[in-house]
Chains A and B, each alone.
Chain A
Amino acid sequence: DQQVKQNSPSLSVQEGRISILNCDYTNSMFDYFLWYKKYPAEGPTFLISISSIKDKNEDGRFTVFLNKSAKHLSLHIVPSQPGDSAVYFCAASARTGTASKLTFGTGTRLQVTL
């Protein structure tokens, strides 16, 4: 049973427009949510995170929104740029002892077109 779901395997957006990537989760014990970006032949790189006690976090062109009642989060990229083309993974964190355990979604491939 997947606890973190990214229901859109791919998304295509024009350069300059807004990209919205969605993620749903089922476990109410998750306390942090993270977005990672992955280029081919590279490992995932951290993009932005949000605590479960907040509903929005912004960092430059990237904003993450969290709706706890709906168990839903989204990543907004505006304006989208061709270099944003990558696979985006949503991850949720639950603490186990003194280390965190991340549960990942299956990813959404974003293609930003000219």
Chain B
Amino acid sequence: ETGVTQTPRHLVMGMTNKKSLKCEQHLGHNAMYWYKQSAKKPLELMFVYNFKEQTENNSVPSRFSPECPNSSHLFLHLHTLQPEDSALYLCASSQAVRRGGPETQYFGPGTRLLVL
């Protein structure tokens, strides 16, 4: 596998279910991100993990719970979601640099989530 992979690619869940999204990056990067893309809206940053530590939580409801066990894996645990949480969830990774410079983020294919 190369690049950034995400599983599952599609997920349908009820509001009382608990599920997890998985992301794995094979690029040797040290920063990972979760984004949400809803219809006709820009990508919204949800969480940032830098060297396995969460450095950003963009006011995301607690029904979304991220986990980063190591620099290659990132999970998004979902519980008691609402229909308005239906969206495309994208994972990305980058090589964080300590001094300036561009940090290109590389994206996975996304998980399309439908909450019924």
Instruction: Give residues 87-116 of B contacting A (CB, 8 Å).
Output: 90, 92, 94, 96-98, 100, 102-110
Which residues in A have their C-beta under 8 angstroms from that of B50? 97-99
Given A46-B104, A46-B106, CB of A98 within 8 Å of CB of B42: no
Contact check, A44 vs B104: say whether CB atoms are below 8 A apart: no
Distance to closest chain B CB from A50 (angstroms): 9
- B94's nearest neighbour on chain A, judged by CB, is A100
Which residues in B have their C-beta under 8 angstroms from that of A103? 42, 45
Task: Judge whether A83 is part of the interface by a CB distance below 8 angstroms.
Answer: no
Task: Judge whether A67 is part of the interface by a CB distance below 8 angstroms.
Answer: no
Which listed residue, A4, A32, A43, A97, touches B90 by the CB 8 Å rule?
A43
Which residues in A have their C-beta under 8 angstroms from that of B4? 43
Contact check, A107 vs B42: say whether CB atoms are below 8 A apart: yes
Contact check, A106 vs B42: say whether CB atoms are below 8 A apart: yes
- B105's nearest neighbour on chain A, judged by CB, is A102
Distance to closest chain A CB from B59 (angstroms): 14
Contact check, B104 vs A99: say whether CB atoms are below 8 A apart: no
Task: Judge whether A93 is part of the interface by a CB distance below 8 angstroms.
Answer: yes
Distance to closest chain B CB from A21 (angstroms): 15
Which listed residue, A34, A44, A49, A98, touches B96 by the CB 8 Å rule?
A98
